[in-house]
Structure 1
Amino acid sequence: MKNKIIDLKLLILGVLFIAVVIYMTISSIMLIDNNTARSISGMQSDEAISQLKKDIELLKNTTTVLADDYNLVETLKRLAEVGRNDNDVNRLLQDVHNFSGILSNMSFVDKMVVTSIEGEFYVSSNNLLTQEYDIFARPWFKDEMVQNPNETYVLSVHNDYIDNSLTTGTIKMIADPETDEILGAILIDIYLEDLIRQLANDDVDVFIEYDNGVIGYVDNEIIYYSDVDYADMYDDSIHIAKYSELNTTIVLATDTNAVKANLYVAENSTYVVSHILLLSFGITAFIIIIISVIIKPVWTAVRSLDHIIAELGENYPEYNAKLTQIAEMAQFVEQSLPKKIKHILYHDELTNLGNRKMFKVVYEKFAKTHKPFVVMLLDIKNFKNINDSYGEKMGNQILCDVSRKLTTAIQGSKGDVIRYGGDEFIIILGVENLKHSVEEFYRQKIMSILPELCVYSDIATTQLEFNSVAVLCPFHTASEDDLITKLYVMLKEKKGIASADLLLFNYELYERYIKEESIKNALKLALLIDEFVIYYQPIIDGNKKVQKAEALIRWFSADLGFVPPNEFIYVAEQTRMIIDLGNWIIDKVARDLSILLDEGHHIQISINISPIQLMEPTFIRDIKGILDKHGVDYKYVCFEITEGVLMEEQEIVKQNLDKLKMLGIDVALDDFGTGYSSFSYLKAYHLDVLKIDKIFVDDATEKDYAIIDVISQIAKILNMQLVLEGIETQEQFDTLKRFGLIQGYYFSRPVAWEEFKALL
């Protein structure tokens, strides 16, 4: 394939790019220039209105102060009491004249007026006395002005009482401070024409919109309108700003061209334009450089695309490829590559079977049919040992052979075979396609291929076997995640069963797993939140005196309720949480035992020890630390073990038992008679206490009693103390007390600490 860098299309594209850059640069300059002018116009308008707001607030404050003036109030009170007279009227005129100087700095303020309600007249700061003036008849008057005399109000736009000019302003009622009687009012009038002239200038037209029309100041002339369409009156060069003040809408129309002509604005615009031009030229030059640098790797990419096409095994026509045809090549690869990628993503590279991702697709396909289907999980037994013994190459060959045989076995059943991972395969097929039961299908189709699956080597021939389980959908599960969980739960159970048959999902086994998982999760917190308690069962002599006691742990879970020891001890041992739990038991018993010894009760307490604890290298160090912490003499402690731990014959067990003996801690063999009951253990391990299991006591016959008698004689020979468990009746007690100590419900069930102390 020949590559050509320059062509007409690229040249046209370059010219278009330069034209676009020039257009964008000019547009940006104009946009920034216009936005700057409008922004400055807005700031000027905001500043003018802000100053107006301050002036209006000053007017309101001035109105409030004047309305509270003592002399003014007293004069109005006299007028109310004696009627209008020249002296008081003149005094009012003088007071108003004195106050008028305060407002001299506000050019838009026309006059200040004090009105007397009783006399129906008013006087103004321009020495005008107007009679027959009824404030309540004015168009701007509102009842709330009288109802709230302490409030200062802004008047609505109205015609002045004297000269009919458009006027607004502020007003506050003057009340008698003693009686709250309204005496009059003080008004400060603002002529809209004066206000509009103050806000306007050569570059700004001003309009004030009120209820009945609009007053405007345009081209230094006051004009009255019924309505104004600003969009029709002005073009885009005029910035319109509207503000609500004095019960009106004030509109400022600023000429942005005049703003642009301002010296400082023009200088700033020149500065910005120059930098935009420099930036545009710089970016253009940079892009050109980048494009020239990129061209080389682009053609490298073209060659790579050609190689990819060759790898895909697809034919691509050869001709003089141009830059504009790279997309066509990429499209060709895009159409071919997904098939390859999809195959890689959804298939196992070694066996070419579907993988875990494919299983999700297949599961959804079967689920959408809403028909029953079965999912089988097959695990090759001891595959790791086979792989280690014969090598990875042979192991891979086995996996390929299994894949091929399983695929052949389900032909015609419309099912799928998945390599789910490692040495695990999944078979999924519809129940309606099975001629027999699921178990029978497995025996006929799957187990029949096992004789053909042998590993041949120079050393041996190995027969393959499967651990196989199955779940029926949707009878046993309704989701993929739940299905996989249940398959692996059943597989765990299947590995403990010697049978080669398929294990179908069993609710009883699954519920046991769920219960064990619940116990496992709850155990993690139980020690921290103090859910465990220790019960004590007394061990008595023939006189019913307590000689010893056995410590028994009880768990009252906040979530699970009472959990029997045989259930949670098993889980604790499986998870090795038994180490921490066992140390907690020893610590609690040692604390209680210390209290008993201090109170004068010198009895021995037995503690059950798990084989896992006894096989810990730190076992002796841990128990010494706990017992020494509470100051307990070792002779008052006895550890109970079972025959199972002795049968392991592990050196660490023998060492720890010998160390217990050296410390003076007794060791008891519990449940004697339920296992192998070998007397050789009693001699080999030099145990101190022998506890006969209750199976010899329940429904005991003369033969059972004879066996107990023989065991007691052997115990005496070995210098071992005998304890008989499970004594529940008076008859059992009377018959067996001669052999040794008695433990059972006859005297007491396991009881809580306080109740146990009472038995002593």
Structure 2
Amino acid sequence: MQNLFEYEGHKLNLHASIGIASLKYGLSKEDVIRNADLAMYEAKRRGKNQVVAFKINFLDIVSRRMQLEQALREALNEQELAIWFQPIIDAQKGCVIGLEALSRWRLSSEFIPPNEFISIAEASGMITKLGRQVFDKVGAALQELRIDYPQLQCNVNLSLRQFRDSDLTKDIIECIEKYHLPACALHLELTESMIAESETEILPTMQSLVGHGFKFHLDDFGTGYSSLERLKNLPFDTLKIDRSFVVPLRQDDHVMVKNIINIGRELGMNLIAEGVETEVEVHKLLQLGCHQIQGYYFARPMPLDELKIWLATTQPQQLAAHKSSQLSQYQQP
């Protein structure tokens, strides 16, 4: 639910997530309140601004969440979370220009989905500890990789709680100093929904980091509530085109991607299309002028050891050959 109010000349857009629980025989008032809370959290999990009625399976969800929260705390204490890397390709030049760091967690024999354990880390406050470990592992990996690939960069995702609960600028600077990296080796990613909710809160830290030479990428662009005015005022270097706009390219529906590319060009920003999985998508993106591509078509996320092999055997020879034999005919003149 959402409502628009005016207060002292300001328009306030208020959102609400509501959980509903039925009064049933045998349930105590504590049970009913608990059930309503569970329904409310489910409404938030589904994207907020929703009304959800309690279902009995929510109890199983809570039980799993509690177990995962405890296991995640132990995993962070033992630094058991892994970092996988997905290459970002310049399809015009046929080379790797960067990586995105992605957290992976294996609990016994099960890989826990990132969106599941990241949300637990966010809600519990463990995201700041997780974030520091990500920076440390990415820094160590980059220090090693840049011996052979001195221009390699890596994108790291940030959460709102890292801005709120830690000295983020200090954490990031300590990382690059520890591993003797330039600021340009780390690119910092924020989601569009995060910016829309907390622009004024995070802007000072963004400006501080930009002042130290770091660059920001706006992830999932087009899926949230960004305005051109916001894009003009915030210090973003790159827009990432969300996969939801890439998939329609298979049916030659390129309106949204073309508009995003035009916006990026007008604002002097780089563009990266993410979630690219087919040759048709690559061809269409090249036609529209987006050359930087991330997705399964070129490479899936992989652990560091596999990445080293992939870089040594695939880049630049195979990418360059692929470009010259299949892609060059689709590029803009």
Establish whether TM, by shorter chain, passes 0.5.
yes
What amino acid does structure 1 have at the position aligned with 2:168?
F
Partner of 2:191: 642
Partner of 1:493: 38
In structure 2, relative to structure 1, the CA distance for the partners of 1:650 and 1:540 (3 Å cut) is closer
> Take 1:544 and 1:485, find their aligned partners in 2: how far apart are those partners?
61
Partner of 1:48: none
1:16-57 C-alpha deviation (Å, 9 max, x unpaired): xxxxxxxxxxxxxxxxxxxxxxxxxxxxxxxxxxxxxxxxxx
> Take 2:243 and 2:51, find their aligned partners in 1: how far apart are those partners?
38
Partner of 2:293: 742
Partner secondary structure for residue 698 of structure 1: helix
Partner secondary structure for residue 524 of structure 1: helix
Partner secondary structure for residue 507 of structure 1: coil
> Take 1:533 and 1:708, find their aligned partners in 2: how far apart are those partners?
33
> Take 1:617 and 1:544, find their aligned partners in 2: how far apart are those partners?
39
What TM-score, normalized to structure 2? Answer: 0.77
What TM-score, normalized to structure 1? Answer: 0.35
1:333-366 C-alpha deviation (Å, 9 max, x unpaired): xxxxxxxxxxxxxxxxxxxxxxxxxxxxxxxxxx
> Take 1:550 and 1:728, find their aligned partners in 2: how far apart are those partners?
16
> Take 1:540 and 1:499, find their aligned partners in 2: how far apart are those partners?
38
Partner secondary structure for residue 129 of structure 2: helix
Match of 1:553 among 103, 115, 128: 103
Match of 2:69 among 520, 539, 559: 520
Partner secondary structure for residue 527 of structure 1: helix
1:142-168 C-alpha deviation (Å, 9 max, x unpaired): xxxxxxxxxxxxxxxxxxxxxxxxxxx
Structure 1 position 621, deviation (Å): 1.1
Which structure has the greater CA radius of gyration? 1
Q: CA contact under 8 A between 1:721 and 1:740: conserved in structure 2?
A: no
What amino acid does structure 2 have at the position aligned with 1:585?
V
In structure 2, relative to structure 1, the CA distance for the partners of 1:499 and 1:594 (3 Å cut) is closer
Q: Give structure 2 stretches of 5+ with no counterpart.
A: 1-18, 44-48, 312-333
Q: CA contact under 8 A between 2:104 and 2:114: conserved in structure 1?
A: yes
1:165-191 C-alpha deviation (Å, 9 max, x unpaired): xxxxxxxxxxxxxxxxxxxxxxxxxxx
Partner secondary structure for residue 615 of structure 1: helix
Q: Is 1:544 paired with 2:94?
A: yes
Q: CA contact under 8 A between 1:709 and 1:739: conserved in structure 2?
A: no
1:44-97 C-alpha deviation (Å, 9 max, x unpaired): xxxxxxxxxxxxxxxxxxxxxxxxxxxxxxxxxxxxxxxxxxxxxxxxxxxxxx
What amino acid does structure 1 have at the position aligned with 2:97?
Q
1:491-513 C-alpha deviation (Å, 9 max, x unpaired): 31355679999x66x22211111
- Within 5 Å, give how 1:79-98 maps onto structure 2: none
Percent identity, aligned pairs only, is: 31
Partner of 2:214: 665
Partner of 2:275: 726
Structure 1 position 622, deviation (Å): 1.5
> Take 1:674 and 1:548, find their aligned partners in 2: how far apart are those partners?
23
Partner of 1:757: 308
Over aligned residue pairs, what C-alpha RMSD do you find? 2.7
Q: CA contact under 8 A between 1:639 and 1:668: conserved in structure 2?
A: yes
1:232-264 C-alpha deviation (Å, 9 max, x unpaired): xxxxxxxxxxxxxxxxxxxxxxxxxxxxxxxxx
Q: Is 1:608 paired with 2:157?
A: yes
Structure 1 position 677, deviation (Å): 3.8
> Take 2:20 and 2:281, find their aligned partners in 1: how far apart are those partners?
50
Q: Is 1:693 paired with 2:238?
A: no
Match of 1:682 among 219, 226, 231: 231
In structure 2, relative to structure 1, the CA distance for the partners of 1:568 and 1:485 (3 Å cut) is farther
What amino acid does structure 2 have at the position aligned with 1:523?
L
Q: Give structure 1 stretches of 5+ with no counterpart.
A: 1-465, 477-482
In structure 2, relative to structure 1, the CA distance for the partners of 1:494 and 1:662 (3 Å cut) is same
In structure 2, relative to structure 1, the CA distance for the partners of 1:485 and 1:658 (3 Å cut) is same
> Take 2:107 and 2:30, find their aligned partners in 1: how far apart are those partners?
26
Partner of 1:130: none
Q: CA contact under 8 A between 1:640 and 1:670: conserved in structure 2?
A: yes
Partner of 1:585: 134
What amino acid does structure 2 have at the position aligned with 1:755?
E
> Take 1:500 and 1:752, find their aligned partners in 2: how far apart are those partners?
40
Structure 1 position 601, deviation (Å): 3.7
> Take 2:166 and 2:75, find their aligned partners in 1: how far apart are those partners?
26
